[in-house]
Amino acid sequence: MTRDARNDTRRSEWHIPSVKRTVLIYGVVGGLLIVLLRGIEYRYLVLEHSLEIYGGLVAVIFAALGIWLGLKLTRPPVVVVREVQIPVPAPLTFALNTASQEALGITKRELEILEFIAQGLSTREIAERAFVSENTVKTHIGRILDKLGARRRTQAVQLAKERGLIP
């Protein structure tokens, strides 16, 4: 257990990043390999095709190292799937019913206006918040009423809620 403790201390002092350590190992192995191969060549493989054997060995070994390196570097991050218990806050889990939105041909802008209406804002207030003129808002609302088949904004709100257009 003492060894472990010392190791930990060392690590905390040096703290070499894993990538750098990898490169280091790579270089050392490569160097050793060269030396090894030279020794081998000069002692046993002084043959006709020593060059091809040498190249092949280097190729194979470095290819293996490359594959290993590739795996090491691209080791995908561990994905932690955590299941969270949501207390089902009704207004937080609103999913826009894009189906009925598209079916009715309601545009993004109109949906925006619709939400303002649902908040109980007047045409003028909506115009202020949407940075457009009252006339534009009235046009939008007119189209919204048309598409929803409503006659009043209150009715439009009700219908929009039924169709999942607004929370």
Q: Which residues bind a copy of itself (CB under 8 A)?
A: 30, 33-34, 37-38, 41, 51-52, 54-56, 58-60, 62-71, 73-74, 76, 79, 85-86, 88, 90, 93, 95, 117-122, 150-159
Task: Closer to a copy of itself by CB, 62 or 130: give it.
Answer: 62
Residue 141 in contact with DNA, rule: CB under 7 A: yes
Q: Closer to DNA by CB, 50 or 136: give it.
A: 136
Q: Which of residues 19, 72, 142, 162 is near DNA by CB under 7 A?
A: 142
Can residue 108 be called a binding residue for DNA (CB under 7 A)?
yes
Q: Is the dihedral of CA 133, 138, 143, 147 positive or negative?
A: positive
Which letter does DSSP use for residue 132 in this model?
S
Per-residue string for binding with DNA, 26-45, x by CB under 7 A? --------------------
Nearer to DNA, 8 or 146 (CB): 146
Cβ of residue 69: shortest distance to a copy of itself, in angstroms? 6
138 binds DNA (CB under 7 A): yes
Q: Indicate the residue type of 49.
A: H
The 3-state secondary structure of 113-130 reads: HHHHHHCCCCHHHHHHHH
- Alpha-carbon distance 161 to 165, whole Å? 6
Q: Which of 65, 145, 158, 163 binds DNA (CB under 7 A)?
A: 145
Helices (H), the chain: 2-14, 18-43, 50-73, 98-104, 108-118, 123-130, 134-148, 153-162
Could you tell me which residues come within 8 angstroms of residue 112 by beta carbon, excluding any fewer than 6 positions away? 130
Could you say whether residue 132 binds DNA (CB under 7 A)?
yes
